Amino acid sequence: MTKVKICGITSEQDALMAVDAGADALGFVFFDKSPRFIGVEAAARIIEKLPPFVQVVGLFVNEDLDVVNSTADCCGLDIVQLHGEESPEFCRLVRRRVMKAFRVRGPESLTPLADYRVAAYLLDAYSPHAYGGTGEVFDWECAIAAKQQGRVVLAGGLTPENIAAAVTRVQPYGVDVSSGVEASPGKKDPDKVRRFIQLAKHPHPI
Ligand SMILES: O=C(O)c1ccccc1NCC(=O)[C@H](O)[C@H](O)COP(=O)(O)O
């Protein structure tokens, strides 16, 4: 069954709602230029309220290694998601499992994947305007091709309307969503979150 990460959590209410809806992982954006930014102390207060068996993912963009590792310790992160131009060597020095994000423009965007020994490749749409959370979709054929290199987490413009088609076609290890389940930037819409998770995990109605 497809794993689901709900990214851009900024409140305890949204975190517990997403967990109750069946999210496998929650993402906290430690990138201060994002509308979904959360500070370390605020994130830690939410994370300490989470039940067991939910993976906590911290997202960073071109951050210092010391900051990544100390935030991971401070907040009890399970996984670090690197969404900038971090090198394979940088990923090796992170003291957590790493999901390395790649922003896909076309098949050539997949060339660097082979250099990275990471727990999963997160594939997101390329935008010249932002590192992520853009709501833009890329050509899913690239995600299908990337599965030859390792686990793929599909992201980029996923919504309750297209998630069943995405999962059926790509069959990724997991999916990741931010803006597609929001009421406004940084605030999740419970109905969209529930429908998204249900359809990601059961794309074919029984
Ligand atoms: O969400 C952000 O604001 C963000 C900012 C900078 C880098 C990454 C960011 N989000 C990463 C994610 O994990 C998103 O889920 C992914 O980019 C997909 O976003 P969306 O198309 O809005 O579902």
Q: Would you please indicate which residues are annotated as catalytic (active-site) residues? A: 7, 124
Instruction: Domains for the chain: give ranges and CATH numbers.
Output: 3-201 (3.20.20.70)
Average pLDDT over residues 40-58: 97
pLDDT digits (tens, 9 = 90+) for 61-104: 999 999 999 999 999 999 999 999 999 999 999 999 999 999 99
What does DSSP say about strands 97-104 and 152-154: parallel, antiparallel, or unpaired? unpaired
pLDDT score recorded for residue 118: 96
| Encoded tokens for 98 | 């790493």
pLDDT score recorded for residue 206: 55
Cα 25 to ligand 1 centroid, rounded to whole Å: 14
Position 37 pLDDT exceeds 60: yes
pLDDT digits (tens, 9 = 90+) for 161-185: 999 999 999 999 999 999 999 999 9
pLDDT score recorded for residue 112: 87
How many Cα atoms occupy the beta-carbon half-sphere of 106 within 13 Å?
A: 1
Pocket of ligand 1 (CB under 6 A): 7-8, 27, 29, 31, 34-36, 59, 61, 83, 124, 131-135, 155-158, 176-180
pTM of the entire predicted model: 0.95
Cα 148 to ligand 1 centroid, rounded to whole Å: 24
